[in-house]
Amino acid sequence: MKDSILMAIESLCDDIATNTDAEENRKRAASIAALAISGLLLPDDVEDGTEETEGEPTAPEAKSNMPKSGDRFTYNGMSFIILGEEQGGVLAVQEHTLGEEMPFDEGDSNDWRKSTLRKYLNEEHIKKFNKGDLLPFVSDLTADDGLKDYGTSEDYIFLLSCDLYRKYRPYMPKYNNWVWTITPWSCTPGYAYYARIVHTDGSLNDNSATNAGAVAPACLFNPSIFE
């Protein structure tokens, strides 16, 4: 029945195209509209350019290779723990501290920007990385007492701040010695040599910048390495 109705509609359309009588064409157009409104002209009769094959399996959804918080992965022989996504990259911290304990700064300053530890990590330790695999990370150097004298620092290799440590504590490795954070205790004269640390039990404290402590480097990986 559908086929005969469609043929009738096509015939009406042909008549409209060749007939110059406006009134007659109006009547034919009304007839087409009536057929469509009555439900005889169904959507299935209109081709949309797609065809669904019954029983044809749908394509599986693409799986993401992005690691999750708490995942462990090895990079150039170093073991890392994924913390989370930050600043357009994947924040990770080394699962094991560096073999040698180091002062935060040999000049006894808690200002990361001019510390000897920052220089070592970004001039020596970084040689273990393919630099294109890392993204620069901007660290907030706000002191524990809220002073912002030191501003921020942009590095490829850095230490976690106290705020980042608190945020990702559930995923942090358990180290065998206390480790440095990037956060100063205070920027005021007389106290600008204390930097915040994380004890083996996970509690926060502070220590003099010239003391030797364990170092747990952090970095921001380019997400492209996980594709």
Q: What is the pLDDT of residues 57-102, one digit of tens each?
A: 454 454 568 899 999 999 999 999 999 999 999 999 999 999 999 9
- The residue among 175, 191, 29, 203 whose CA lies nearest residue 108 is 191
- The residue among 36, 55, 34, 56 whose CA lies nearest residue 46 is 36
DSSP structural state of residue 108: -
8 A C-beta contact, residue 205 and residue 199: yes
Q: What is the pLDDT of residue 2?
A: 47
Q: What is the pLDDT along the chain (227 residues), one digit of tens a residue?
A: 545 544 555 665 565 555 556 566 566 655 555 555 454 444 444 344 444 445 554 544 545 688 999 999 999 999 999 999 999 999 999 999 999 999 999 999 999 999 999 999 999 999 999 989 999 999 999 999 999 999 999 999 999 999 999 999 999 999 999 999 999 999 999 999 999 999 999 999 999 999 999 999 999 999 999 98
Q: Give the Cα separation of 93 and 170 in Å (integer).
A: 13
State pTM to two decimals. Answer: 0.72
Q: Give the Cα separation of 136 and 121 in Å (integer).
A: 13
Q: What is the pLDDT of residue 49?
A: 43
Q: Give the Cα separation of 148 and 128 in Å (integer).
A: 32
- Give the Å distances, CA to CA, from 90 to 169, 198, 220, 225: 16, 22, 5, 10
**Token match 């990037």: residue?**
182
8 A C-beta contact, residue 195 and residue 180: yes
In the numeric block, which tokens belong to residue 185?
A: 């205790």
b/e per residue 117-156 (b: at least 16 CB within 10 A) = bbebbeeebbeebeeeebbebebebbbbeebeebeebebb
- For the CA atoms of the chain, what is the radius of gyration? 34
Q: What is the pLDDT of residue 65?
A: 82
Q: What is the pLDDT of residue 166?
A: 98
